[in-house]
Structures are given as C-alpha cells and as structure tokens.
A = this chain, B = another copy of it.
Amino acid sequence: MKQKLYSDIDAAIADVPDGARMMFGGFGGAGFPNNLIQALARKGTKEIFAISNNCGTRDGELGILFKLNRIRHIIASFPGPHSNHFQERLAAKEVTIELVPQGILCERMRAAAAGLLGFYTAVGVGTEVAAGKEERVIDGNRCILEMPIHADFAFIKAEKADELGNLTYHLAAQNFNPIMAMAAKTTIVEVEEIVPVGSIDPESVMTPAIFVHRIVQAKGIRYAG
C-alpha cells in the first residue's frame, strides 16, 4: 500500500507544477500550512492559480508567494489589511483577483468536493459579485448560479494525523482546511503531530483519511505574518 507519510517536506511538494490550481487553508493567522508554503517558495513553482480566504500577511502565509511574484490569479474573500505584497502586485497588474463572499467560497469548494455542478444562492444578488453570472428567480427569490471551484492541490494544516491520513484540528484552526481537503485532487497536510493508526477515536476524526494524500510533520513556522 502506498505510504502517505513523507519525511521530507520538499519531496512532498516536488511535483507541484507551474500553473497549478492550489487551495491554501487558514484564517485569522490560524491553520495556515506555513511550512508547505515556504517549501513551495523554495521550489519556485510559478504562475499559480490560488484559492484562499486571504492574500497573505506581510511576508507570512501567502505573502511570500506574492513577494516572489509566483501567483498569477487568486480567488479570495478577504485579502486582508496586511496583504501588502498582494496589493502591490495587483496595482502592477501582475496578479488578478476574483473576490467571492466567504461562505460562497466555502460552498463552491464543497460543491466540487461533493460532485455537484453548480448551485443557486441569493448571496451577492444585486452586488458586484453577480456580474456575469446567470440570474433567475426561484420561488420568488432572486438568485445567481455559482459554480464549483476545483483544485489540483490543497495545502492544509491540521493538529494530528495518523499514518493513514485521518486528521484532527485544534480549536478554531480548522476553518477552511477540512473543506479544501475534500475539494482538491491531491491534499497535502502539515501536522503538529503524527500518531499511530488507531490512536484517533473514529468518532473524533474530523477529516477522514480518504481525503488526505500526503502527510508531513510541520517543522519551523506555526504562525507567520
């Protein structure tokens, strides 16, 4: 059986090609896969199509990738007050952004995960985010059609993994991570702790192993930016 455990973080991300569609977990400083992002920066993958709630915090989180000009387009909900590298690239027209309501960002990724082909929502009707989207009325409610967001890779952060890939998250650090784990073709997780198979109670597993493809021990940065 193929092992999911990688001892070398650079090996775990070695096949992420230029132009990859990539999801990055994290919110409010918590649950960011900072060590995976740093490895990606070292590797030099460029022309990335990114999906993330925000756009980096100074040099931290996705900041380093904008600083190095590795991201070409991003789908995000809230770039954030310290996304200065992103804002500079945006002003220089080196990156484009699709701004999405935060819950709709979650649902579009979940739709991809769940094999749904689109959904109707009232969120965003009459606002800038409705531009270019199909609009209709269902049961008297104006709504727009939102499409799934898929990805080649998700970089996520969890607290514990067993060697099969079952995950748990710490406090509010799960945020986008469980959703992205389900939505990407290949999910790579960095964890605080790797535990033996059988040591996570089946009722306590937050992301089942089926969604997790590669596991690395987080070493170095926990919070960045």
Binding site for B on A (CB under 8 A): 107, 111, 114-123, 138-139, 141, 143, 147, 168-171, 202-204
Beyond A116-B119, A170-B203, A171-B203, 12 extra complex contacts between A and B, CB < 8 Å: A107-B116, A111-B119, A115-B121, A115-B123, A116-B120, A117-B119, A117-B121, A117-B138, A117-B143, A118-B143, A119-B119, A171-B202
Q: Name the contact of A117 in the complex, choosing from B139, B147, B203 (C-beta under 8 A).
A: B139
A143 vs B122: C-alpha distance in the bound complex, in angstroms? 21
- A68 vs B107: C-alpha distance when bound (angstroms): 41
Chain B contacts for A111, CB-based, 8 A: 119
Q: How many copies does the complex hold?
A: 2
> Once the chains are docked, how many angstroms separate the CA of A171 from the CA of B202?
8
Contact B122 A115 (CB under 8 A): yes
> Which 4 pairs across A and B sit closest by C-beta, in order of nearness?
A119-B119, A117-B120, A117-B138, A118-B120
